[in-house]
Amino acid sequence: MTSDKKQLHPLLKLLLEMGPLVLFFIIYSKVDLRTAIVSFIPATVAALVAYYVLQRKVPVMPLVSGAIVVVFGGLTLFFDNDHFFKMKPTIVSAVFGVVLIYGYVSGRPLLKTVLDSAFNLDDAGWHKLTLRWAVYFFFMAALNEVVWRNFSESTWVSFKVFGLTALTVVFAMAQTPLLMRYEVKKDETKTG
Protein backbone atom coordinates (compact mmCIF):
# COMPACT_ATOMS: atom_id res chain seq x y z
CA MET A 1 0.00 0.00 0.00
CA THR A 2 2.75 2.47 0.85
CA SER A 3 4.23 2.05 -2.62
CA ASP A 4 1.16 3.90 -4.00
CA LYS A 5 2.29 7.00 -2.11
CA LYS A 6 4.63 9.11 -4.18
CA GLN A 7 7.49 10.29 -1.94
CA LEU A 8 9.21 13.55 -2.78
CA HIS A 9 12.96 13.65 -2.97
CA PRO A 10 14.19 15.20 0.33
CA LEU A 11 15.89 18.12 -1.46
CA LEU A 12 12.73 18.91 -3.40
CA LYS A 13 10.68 18.75 -0.20
CA LEU A 14 13.16 21.09 1.49
CA LEU A 15 12.98 23.48 -1.45
CA LEU A 16 9.17 23.53 -1.34
CA GLU A 17 9.10 24.09 2.41
CA MET A 18 12.00 26.52 2.79
CA GLY A 19 12.17 28.16 -0.65
CA PRO A 20 9.47 30.77 -0.04
CA LEU A 21 11.02 31.65 3.34
CA VAL A 22 14.51 32.03 1.83
CA LEU A 23 13.05 34.21 -0.93
CA PHE A 24 11.30 36.30 1.74
CA PHE A 25 14.57 36.83 3.61
CA ILE A 26 16.58 37.70 0.49
CA ILE A 27 14.04 40.24 -0.69
CA TYR A 28 13.68 41.69 2.80
CA SER A 29 17.46 42.14 3.07
CA LYS A 30 17.58 43.89 -0.34
CA VAL A 31 14.36 45.96 -0.21
CA ASP A 32 11.86 46.04 2.68
CA LEU A 33 9.25 44.02 4.58
CA ARG A 34 6.31 44.98 2.36
CA THR A 35 8.11 43.89 -0.83
CA ALA A 36 9.23 40.69 0.88
CA ILE A 37 5.62 39.90 1.82
CA VAL A 38 4.46 40.64 -1.73
CA SER A 39 6.93 37.99 -2.97
CA PHE A 40 6.33 35.57 -0.09
CA ILE A 41 2.61 35.11 -0.73
CA PRO A 42 2.81 33.91 -4.37
CA ALA A 43 5.94 31.86 -3.60
CA THR A 44 4.05 30.09 -0.82
CA VAL A 45 1.04 29.47 -3.06
CA ALA A 46 3.34 28.18 -5.82
CA ALA A 47 4.97 25.75 -3.36
CA LEU A 48 1.54 24.43 -2.32
CA VAL A 49 0.49 24.02 -5.96
CA ALA A 50 3.76 22.17 -6.66
CA TYR A 51 3.08 19.85 -3.72
CA TYR A 52 -0.35 19.10 -5.16
CA VAL A 53 0.90 18.57 -8.71
CA LEU A 54 3.67 16.25 -7.54
CA GLN A 55 1.72 14.29 -4.90
CA ARG A 56 -1.98 14.93 -5.57
CA LYS A 57 -2.21 16.14 -1.97
CA VAL A 58 -0.76 18.87 0.20
CA PRO A 59 0.65 18.02 3.66
CA VAL A 60 -1.42 19.46 6.52
CA MET A 61 1.23 21.66 8.14
CA PRO A 62 2.34 23.46 4.96
CA LEU A 63 -1.31 23.87 3.94
CA VAL A 64 -2.33 25.50 7.23
CA SER A 65 0.80 27.61 7.35
CA GLY A 66 0.33 28.63 3.72
CA ALA A 67 -3.29 29.64 4.28
CA ILE A 68 -2.23 31.79 7.22
CA VAL A 69 0.57 33.36 5.13
CA VAL A 70 -1.97 34.35 2.50
CA VAL A 71 -4.51 35.69 5.01
CA PHE A 72 -2.13 37.57 7.29
CA GLY A 73 0.14 38.69 4.47
CA GLY A 74 -2.95 39.97 2.67
CA LEU A 75 -4.18 41.78 5.78
CA THR A 76 -0.74 43.35 6.23
CA LEU A 77 -0.75 44.64 2.67
CA PHE A 78 -4.40 45.73 2.68
CA PHE A 79 -4.21 47.63 5.97
CA ASP A 80 -0.56 48.63 5.54
CA ASN A 81 0.12 47.30 9.05
CA ASP A 82 2.97 44.86 9.60
CA HIS A 83 1.54 43.66 12.94
CA PHE A 84 -0.65 41.18 11.08
CA PHE A 85 2.34 39.52 9.43
CA LYS A 86 4.46 39.58 12.58
CA MET A 87 1.66 37.78 14.44
CA LYS A 88 1.50 35.04 11.81
CA PRO A 89 4.09 32.73 13.43
CA THR A 90 2.30 33.19 16.75
CA ILE A 91 -1.02 32.17 15.24
CA VAL A 92 0.40 29.24 13.26
CA SER A 93 2.15 27.88 16.35
CA ALA A 94 -0.88 28.44 18.58
CA VAL A 95 -3.20 26.72 16.09
CA PHE A 96 -0.91 23.69 15.87
CA GLY A 97 -0.61 23.63 19.67
CA VAL A 98 -4.38 23.77 20.17
CA VAL A 99 -5.01 21.07 17.55
CA LEU A 100 -2.42 18.78 19.13
CA ILE A 101 -3.76 19.36 22.65
CA TYR A 102 -7.28 18.63 21.41
CA GLY A 103 -6.08 15.35 19.93
CA TYR A 104 -4.14 14.53 23.08
CA VAL A 105 -7.09 15.22 25.40
CA SER A 106 -9.55 13.39 23.15
CA GLY A 107 -7.28 10.34 23.04
CA ARG A 108 -6.55 10.69 19.31
CA PRO A 109 -2.97 11.92 18.93
CA LEU A 110 -3.30 13.85 15.68
CA LEU A 111 0.46 13.99 15.28
CA LYS A 112 0.24 10.30 14.41
CA THR A 113 -1.90 11.18 11.39
CA VAL A 114 0.63 13.75 10.19
CA LEU A 115 3.82 11.74 10.89
CA ASP A 116 2.64 8.13 10.67
CA SER A 117 4.62 7.42 7.53
CA ALA A 118 7.79 8.81 9.11
CA PHE A 119 7.65 6.98 12.45
CA ASN A 120 6.17 3.76 13.76
CA LEU A 121 5.49 4.32 17.47
CA ASP A 122 3.26 2.60 19.98
CA ASP A 123 0.30 4.54 21.41
CA ALA A 124 2.20 5.71 24.50
CA GLY A 125 4.95 7.10 22.27
CA TRP A 126 2.47 8.98 20.08
CA HIS A 127 0.78 10.48 23.14
CA LYS A 128 4.07 11.65 24.66
CA LEU A 129 5.37 13.01 21.36
CA THR A 130 2.07 14.83 20.76
CA LEU A 131 2.17 16.48 24.18
CA ARG A 132 5.78 17.54 23.72
CA TRP A 133 5.10 19.10 20.33
CA ALA A 134 1.99 20.87 21.62
CA VAL A 135 3.98 22.44 24.46
CA TYR A 136 6.74 23.34 21.99
CA PHE A 137 4.29 25.09 19.68
CA PHE A 138 2.83 27.11 22.57
CA PHE A 139 6.36 28.07 23.63
CA MET A 140 7.16 29.18 20.06
CA ALA A 141 3.98 31.25 19.90
CA ALA A 142 4.94 33.04 23.12
CA LEU A 143 8.55 33.48 21.98
CA ASN A 144 7.48 35.05 18.68
CA GLU A 145 5.30 37.52 20.59
CA VAL A 146 8.24 38.50 22.80
CA VAL A 147 10.60 38.97 19.85
CA TRP A 148 8.36 40.96 17.51
CA ARG A 149 7.03 43.20 20.25
CA ASN A 150 10.39 43.95 21.91
CA PHE A 151 13.04 43.91 19.18
CA SER A 152 13.71 45.61 15.87
CA GLU A 153 12.06 44.50 12.66
CA SER A 154 15.35 43.14 11.28
CA THR A 155 15.93 41.15 14.48
CA TRP A 156 12.43 39.69 14.19
CA VAL A 157 12.94 38.78 10.51
CA SER A 158 16.22 37.00 11.34
CA PHE A 159 14.50 35.23 14.23
CA LYS A 160 11.58 34.20 11.97
CA VAL A 161 13.80 32.88 9.19
CA PHE A 162 16.71 31.39 11.14
CA GLY A 163 15.75 31.22 14.81
CA LEU A 164 12.41 29.44 14.42
CA THR A 165 13.91 26.97 11.97
CA ALA A 166 16.98 26.25 14.12
CA LEU A 167 14.92 25.85 17.29
CA THR A 168 12.56 23.47 15.52
CA VAL A 169 15.43 21.32 14.21
CA VAL A 170 17.04 21.20 17.67
CA PHE A 171 13.73 20.33 19.33
CA ALA A 172 12.98 17.63 16.75
CA MET A 173 16.42 16.08 17.22
CA ALA A 174 15.93 16.15 20.99
CA GLN A 175 12.95 13.81 20.49
CA THR A 176 15.20 11.02 19.16
CA PRO A 177 15.44 9.16 22.51
CA LEU A 178 11.62 9.12 22.78
CA LEU A 179 11.29 7.91 19.18
CA MET A 180 13.79 5.13 19.81
CA ARG A 181 12.21 4.11 23.13
CA TYR A 182 8.66 3.80 21.74
CA GLU A 183 9.44 2.59 18.23
CA VAL A 184 7.53 -0.50 17.16
CA LYS A 185 9.83 -2.70 15.14
CA LYS A 186 8.37 -4.18 11.95
CA ASP A 187 8.93 -7.73 13.20
CA GLU A 188 7.27 -7.11 16.59
CA THR A 189 3.74 -8.29 17.15
CA LYS A 190 1.01 -6.54 19.06
CA THR A 191 0.87 -9.33 21.65
CA GLY A 192 4.07 -8.21 23.43
* pLDDT reported for residue 2: 42
Residue 116: band (very low, low, confident or very high) from pLDDT cuts 50, 70, 90: low
184 DSSP 8-state letter? P
Mean pLDDT computed over 49-72: 90
Q: In the predicted model, is pLDDT for residue 118 greater than 80?
A: no
- Burial (Cβ within 10 Å: 0-12, 13-18, ≥19) of residue 109: buried
* pLDDT reported for residue 186: 73
CA distance 188 to 138: 35
* pLDDT reported for residue 1: 39
Least confident stretch, 63-77, 101-115, 119-133, 157-171 = 101-115
Least confident stretch, 19-28, 34-43, 51-60 = 51-60
For the full predicted model, state whether its pTM sits above 0.85: no
Task: Report domain extents, the chain.
Answer: 1-78, 82-184
Q: Are 53 and 7 in contact (CB under 8 A)?
A: no
CA distance 83 to 8: 35
Rounded to whole angstroms, what are the CA distances from 16 to 11, 12, 73, 179? 9, 6, 19, 26
Indicate the average pLDDT of the chain: 89
183 bridge partner residues: 121
The residue among 167 and 14 whose pLDDT is bigger is 167
- Tens of pLDDT, residues 91-108: 999 999 999 999 899 988
The residue among 142 and 56 whose pLDDT is bigger is 142
Mean pLDDT computed over 151-177: 95
Mean pLDDT computed over 63-80: 93
CA distance 103 to 184: 21
